[in-house]
Structure 1
Amino acid sequence: MEGNNFSKFESGVKVNVNSNVGHVDKTVFGSKNKPEEKTDFKKNIFDKIILASFFMLFFGLPIFFTGLSFQGVVFEKQIYFYFWVLVALVTWVAKGVMLSEMKIKRTLLDIPIAFFLVFYLISTFFSVDKWHSFWGFFGDPSRGLLGVLFLVVMYYLILSNFNFKTLKWCLGGLVLSSMLVSVFSLLVMFGVKIAPASLNSYIPLSLIGTVSGLKVFLGMMIPLLLVVSLKMNESKKKYVNILGYIALAFVPINLLIVSMVFDKIISATILFGVGFFLLYILSHIVRPKENLAWIPMVAFVLAMIVLATGKNDLAKVNIPIEASPNMEVSWEIIKGGLKEDPMLGSGPATYGFDFSKYKPQAFNENIFYGIRFYQGTGLFFESFSTLGILGAVALLAIVVVFINVAIYLISQDKEKNKIYSLGLLSASIISIVSAFVFRVDGTIILLSAMVGSITMAVIFLESGMEERYLKLSLKASPKFALTLAFIFIIVSAGVAVLFVYIGKAYLADIYAGVATRVSKVTEEGSIKNLNKAISLNDKEGRYYSRVGQEYMVLANEEASKPENSVDVTKIGNYVSASVAYAKEGVSKMPNDALSVSVLAQIYESLSMQVDSTLELAFKSYENLLSLEPHNPVAYLKLGQIKIVPALKETDVTKKKALIKESMGYIEKSVKEKTNFAEGYYYLAVTQNALDQKDESINSLISAVNNDKKNLTYLFNLGRAYQEKGGETDIDNAKKIFEYIVSISPEEVNTNFALGTLYEKIGEKDKAVEKYNKVLETVKKLGSDNDETIGKLNKIISNTKAGISNVNIADSQPINSGQTGDVSNSNQEVELIGPAPVQNPVNQTAPIAGQSIDNATEPAVGN
């Protein structure tokens, strides 16, 4: 009976439930499903935008450039990186708000990254140049706090939004981009014209930004090309196999380019990375398709051949030398920085300050003494001086944890065959080793961080690691809802501000780029564009210094006009503007040696017209020495400045005192640089003025020995011998003058001096011949030399008549300018350029051909 009742109940239930369920499906579930479908659609849109941003980062960063900016390719790539990270960040946060949940992936790198950021922030706060420590230094902003924050954001963006689809798009984009870089580089190296001549100034030699960066990038790509080739050859589709072999063909192409711009350290690093890849293949921890194991072996052999054979001569273009401080110099800079501020350093992106202040005196003895380096040889060396012990250790901790975690996870669970992880880790190892032992630019830092981020994400994915997330959910509690809403508001506001400022900074640099590419400095052209740059980005001190220099060029041009055409008012306005802008440049960058030297040069240039600026120039060079204690040029400048009042002084005692003071500074310049030809030359000038004839000759000999091509030094050595007057001295002078005339037959001063010498030793015919040569040359110079021509005719007639011209000759009445090429840092130096890595220590004034004349160069014999 119970069974019958149960049977009836069961039967009734079936009928009722089935009918009800059918009804519910059409109403309740049907109406609820529409918002979920809409949510999924929006989520897919957000995911696609994030994926597109990642693809644009990996594909676009290596090849992006416009050639329009002043600061160059590396700066442009940094702006490009900022843009796409901001797009991905806004999309990710918006997606989190829409889904009422945001998940941030947690990894073992979280704690080292957090400590590194904290120390970076503190070091920025106490920096010697707070703005550039935040934004990044001129030309390469990658070391700034902002750049590091973006790298961290990019890391968590990738890890929190990663899957195999993301991997394929990012890796595919990077490999495709590297192929384009390789083809471009190969064409450039072989001298193939890839664009019209009018566009050549916009196209870089290296798409990465520097040749050294190109070598590192191509080396990084070799393991990734191997991985892509191996995976594609596992496909059953023939066209995919063909594409795999095309990718493989770029391995020898990359190695060929590396050998054309050969560097032993980089080549050894590439070999190490490929060897690491091969090690895991041979040990069967990672197993490619059986018949493809030969591929990494061949790549390893090719890398060995490149390292063993060294540089080849296939390149048809001149590859520029990219210098960097050697390990000894880098170590001295570290020691100096640690003495000053061992814990926090001088601040991020301030290596230029450390290099100027702590470079050893021995650095002045090499050919690169006149270069300022704004990046160290390896991030490890650089971080000790800029970030201090705390920052350097935190950076090292990130690298150590990254490598340990990656190697441990790849080595586990051989059956999972983590070939993507192996290739990416091998590429990361090449970039890490290169960054620690080689000077790397911002492009390589960005690419290394991007590849490193994908490496961690892929290793976790291929290892099947349990995913851990920091979850912020609107559904969990009001506290989390508030947190997520607050994050969205802050991120949105911050992104809006950053978009605007970064856009303005880039536009400003384009205006500056337009200004610096013009052939002539004008107020309506170059200066107007530089002022537009300043109005858009008034934080950048380099713009102000450059405008100051350009106004000085205009003042020079106006002053060099014929006397009846000179506009004194214009000169005054130009000079005032020049000083004002240069002072503002120093105000923006008070601890930057280049900005200070620009102001010092401008004051010195004005000292011939305005006496009061001489003291200002002197103080500016003293300020420069406080930033660059071993700068021989600064000591020479101080000595030259002290010569000026000595020339005007009538009291003999005071005159000698000023000359001795000048000589003291110049002696310091040659102590700082024992092969400083210009220093020895001016030391000879002061010694001669103090009647130290033998010492003066010895100094001139040192000047000539250290700059054998400088005919001015050689000419004045001849004059010094001639003035000394001994038989051997006269013979030396004669040989010197005859040598100069053999090189420069129409050189007026030397021909005249040789004529006086022949006359003195009784060779009258030769003397007349040389005087006539001078007369012919002077007549060619123009029609306003009547007085000089008259003197020469008188000298020639006296010589023929046997009348001595000694008094006339001693006064050296002929002056056609300098003899030979004067190596004088006061004369022709280039305007501030775009190079972020190096600026000459005497790069403080106008472009070549537009000189600022500070003072006439004294001759030893006078």
Structure 2
Amino acid sequence: MKVLNIIDKYLFLSLIFLYPLFFLLIFQSPFDTAKLLLLAVGILLLTTVKIVKTILLGDFKFYSSKIDVLIVAFVIICVISSILSPLSKFDSFVLPGATSLIVFSTFMYFFVNQFIQKEKNVSENVLIVSAVIASILQIISFLNIPALKFIGNNFSSLGNIISSLTFFAIILPFAFYKAIRENDITNKILFGLAGFVIFIGLSLSAYSVLPLKNTSPKLLSLSNSWSIAIDTLKANPLFGVGPANYLASFNKFRPITFNSTPDWNVKYIVSRNTPLTVMVELGLLGVIIFLSIFFVSLRPFSLENPNSLSVLIFLIISLIFPISPVLFPIFFLLIALNTKTREVGGIFTSKIPAFVMTIPFIAFVLFVSFVSYKAFYSEYLFNKMINLKTYEDLNKVLQINPYSDRYHLVAAELNLAIANSIAKKTDIKDEDKNTISQLIQQSITEAKAAVSLNPQKASNWDNLGNIYTSISSFAKDANQFAIEAYSQAIFLDPINPLLRIRLGGIYYSDQKYEDAVKIFELAVLAKPDFANSHFNLAMAYKGNKQIEKAKEQLNITLTLVEKDSKDYELVKKELDTIDEKVENTEANPIQTENLTPPATPSPTQEPQIEIPTE
């Protein structure tokens, strides 16, 4: 039993030491995915050890605190929100796995609750050492030392600069407190040095997030964040849109004034700060419990308690910045360190009740182990395929894990690219024609699979529409399917002018100029200062024989493009010759920089294929 206790203790200490530092380049997201993997492995091993201890001892000791109910309620809301959400369950539970992070964080919270004060002090020391190493890496990155170029610029072992700032800020009080209170002069000096190094890392992180710095993160404005949160609550008041699904609300509910900002084409996956992000993803219940955790944990508050000060600092930073879910295990660890516990439980008369009690946890370990293997192994193969161009691994990825829309999107694009490369051959044989047909059908099937897995994701419908558009010369009724796909994308992302330009382009290529005009007019309304919308509308007016309106739009376009650009040359020539070329609806053949004229009808090519309807 002593061996199990030692394993239990050092497994946990190793986990909290490695977590802030851990990253693996074998994943597309080397920081977030790697930390989720480490956390999953660590929690599963710790849970297994505790199961064995419970069965062997035949007793059950559990230390509880006043905040347990709120922690459990928060994780339950995360799970319910993920289940009820019409968006991707894979994104919530697996990768990026915000819900799984919260579940594992809850386990970590209860593991720390079982510690005596001495063990909690050791945990604090381990976090300090981890923060020192992370800070040293940050300093090396900032100094850009040639001999250590492998670390890279703006490196953060936490994954991003806001996470580093938060981590250093919440660990710093522990180091300085121990430096002041420590009686041993050697320990006092060591903690003082540790605090100094962490302070340097904190200062560099704070410097990097200053406005107008190149390293400063792009953040959604508070007004837009609030508007999105309110509209989301109107649609999903209690449980929100689900963890890791902020982008869906951003697409659907961002105000039209957002299109007047310089970052109008940027997609935000988090709100301006953490509570607003939680409000959108977990609803009113989620944000109330999230803030209640702070309120209960900070009572009574004392500046002489570094735990309370760290929790307060975490709250302040969360009100300013959107904190990554990757930091929630550290947050829950802080809450546990700041909480007093009392013992509950008892000794069983036989080992059978102890075994029965562990059955749910055994099932949890087995299930999570199985899912984790499939998720992380497929992610490894996917990254290998992308980096090494080993496309034969793609089918293996889809066999192991067919639940990620990302994998299906890549498969769709790959099949279409291969089909296009074969179609460009000067001498196409019957065998090539059959291959092209199969590749295009497979591309459509994969794109539709992505839509099926995450039907509330506008980019999936946009991708499907793009594929239909690109095969319009090969497939009958492809344009009609493209119209349906783009229309659904517009429903999910209503103020995106690019989607309306693509949809209008389909009508234009079918010579349905009146319909094209209506769509392009809406694109102009969505973003009046977007030159491409006005130019496409002008071409549609021209095709519809509304020459004066076409001239008006071309003149507006001239005011929106650079005078010395090829775009200006194109528009000027189009304007000068529009009266002479009323019958010709094609734009002048001049290379452009940003303007994309609507597509003209493509000649039918062989082989004609049947589009999959299921």
What TM-score results when the alignment is normalised by the length of structure 1?
0.65
Corresponding residue of 1:716: 570
Corresponding residue of 1:235: 184
Distance in 1 (CA, whole Å) between partners of 2:289 and 2:384 is 41
Deviations 1:97-155 (A, max 9, x none): 2222122211111222333344334333321126237505x4x322x2x3322221111
- 1:180 maps onto 2:130 in alignment: no
Distance in 1 (CA, whole Å) between partners of 2:176 and 2:406 is 44
Corresponding residue of 2:173: 223
**2:252·2:494 contact (CA, 8 Å) conserved in 1?**
yes
Deviations 1:242-275 (A, max 9, x none): 42342133144124412430337xxxxxxxxxxx
**1:684·1:699 contact (CA, 8 Å) conserved in 2?**
yes
Corresponding residue of 1:269: none
- 1:57 maps onto 2:15 in alignment: yes
> Partner amino acid for 1:257?
L
Deviations 1:391-450 (A, max 9, x none): 222222222111224x1xx47xxxxxxx5xx22322222222222331222222222222
Corresponding residue of 1:533: 397
Deviations 1:803-833 (A, max 9, x none): xxx99xx999999x7524245499xxxxxxx
Identity, in percent, stands at 19
Distance in 2 (CA, whole Å) between partners of 1:610 and 1:163 is 70
- 1:350 maps onto 2:240 in alignment: no
- 1:619 maps onto 2:484 in alignment: yes
Corresponding residue of 2:593: 821
Corresponding residue of 1:593: 458
Deviations 1:162-214 (A, max 9, x none): 3313422x2222222222222212222232346677x97xx983211112222
**1:120·1:348 contact (CA, 8 Å) conserved in 2?**
yes
Corresponding residue of 2:314: 431
**1:66·1:76 contact (CA, 8 Å) conserved in 2?**
yes
- 1:665 maps onto 2:519 in alignment: yes
**1:357·1:628 contact (CA, 8 Å) conserved in 2?**
yes
| Change in 2 beyond 3 A, CA 1:263/1:93 | farther
Distance in 1 (CA, whole Å) between partners of 2:402 and 2:543 is 48
Q: CA deviation at 1:361?
A: 1.1
Q: CA deviation at 1:720?
A: 2.9
| Change in 2 beyond 3 A, CA 1:707/1:66 | farther
Corresponding residue of 2:421: 557
The equivalences for 1:362-377 within 5 A come to 362-377=257-272
- 1:152 maps onto 2:106 in alignment: yes
Corresponding residue of 1:261: 208
**2:136·2:201 contact (CA, 8 Å) conserved in 1?**
no
> Partner amino acid for 1:210?
N
- 1:323 maps onto 2:218 in alignment: yes
The equivalences for 1:545-694 within 5 A come to 545-563=409-427, 567-646=432-511, 658-694=512-548
The equivalences for 1:786-805 within 5 A come to none
SS at match of 1:353: helix
The equivalences for 1:826-837 within 5 A come to none
SS at match of 2:60: strand
Corresponding residue of 2:612: none
Distance in 1 (CA, whole Å) between partners of 2:585 and 2:296 is 74
More deviation, 111-120/615-624: 111-120
> Partner amino acid for 1:347?
G
Corresponding residue of 2:610: none
Structure 1 unaligned blocks of 5 or more: 1-41, 265-309, 312-317, 412-418, 461-466, 647-657, 726-805, 827-852, 857-862
SS at match of 2:298: helix
**2:175·2:192 contact (CA, 8 Å) conserved in 1?**
no
| Change in 2 beyond 3 A, CA 1:437/1:531 | farther
Q: CA deviation at 1:673?
A: 1.3
- 1:474 maps onto 2:348 in alignment: yes
More deviation, 79-88/252-261: 252-261
> Partner amino acid for 2:510?
P
SS at match of 1:393: helix
- 1:510 maps onto 2:380 in alignment: yes
Distance in 1 (CA, whole Å) between partners of 2:376 and 2:363 is 20
Distance in 2 (CA, whole Å) between partners of 1:163 and 1:95 is 21
Structure 2 unaligned blocks of 5 or more: 603-614
Corresponding residue of 1:491: 361
Q: CA deviation at 1:724?
A: 5.8
Distance in 1 (CA, whole Å) between partners of 2:86 and 2:147 is 44
| Change in 2 beyond 3 A, CA 1:340/1:79 | same
> Partner amino acid for 2:74?
F
Distance in 2 (CA, whole Å) between partners of 1:640 and 1:359 is 25
**1:347·1:386 contact (CA, 8 Å) conserved in 2?**
yes
Deviations 1:648-692 (A, max 9, x none): xxxxxxxxxx21210110110111112222111111211222344
Distance in 1 (CA, whole Å) between partners of 2:338 and 2:471 is 58
**1:541·1:588 contact (CA, 8 Å) conserved in 2?**
yes
Deviations 1:439-472 (A, max 9, x none): 222222222222222232xxx3xxxxxx522304
Corresponding residue of 1:98: 56
Distance in 1 (CA, whole Å) between partners of 2:382 and 2:356 is 39
More deviation, 709-718/425-434: 709-718
SS at match of 1:404: coil
SS at match of 2:338: helix
Q: CA deviation at 1:350?
A: 2.1
> Partner amino acid for 2:132?
M
Distance in 1 (CA, whole Å) between partners of 2:242 and 2:585 is 56
Distance in 1 (CA, whole Å) between partners of 2:395 and 2:381 is 9
Corresponding residue of 1:171: 124
Corresponding residue of 2:611: none
Provide the aligned C-alpha RMSD in A.
Answer: 3.0
Deviations 1:203-235 (A, max 9, x none): 983211112222222222322332243345x31
The partner residue of 1:81 within 25, 36, 39 is 39
- 1:335 maps onto 2:288 in alignment: no
SS at match of 2:413: helix
> Partner amino acid for 2:333?
M
Deviations 1:29-71 (A, max 9, x none): xxxxxxxxxxxxx1x2222222212212221011101111123
**2:104·2:329 contact (CA, 8 Å) conserved in 1?**
no
Distance in 1 (CA, whole Å) between partners of 2:87 and 2:531 is 34
| Change in 2 beyond 3 A, CA 1:814/1:619 | closer
> Partner amino acid for 1:551?
N
- 1:391 maps onto 2:286 in alignment: yes
Corresponding residue of 1:732: none
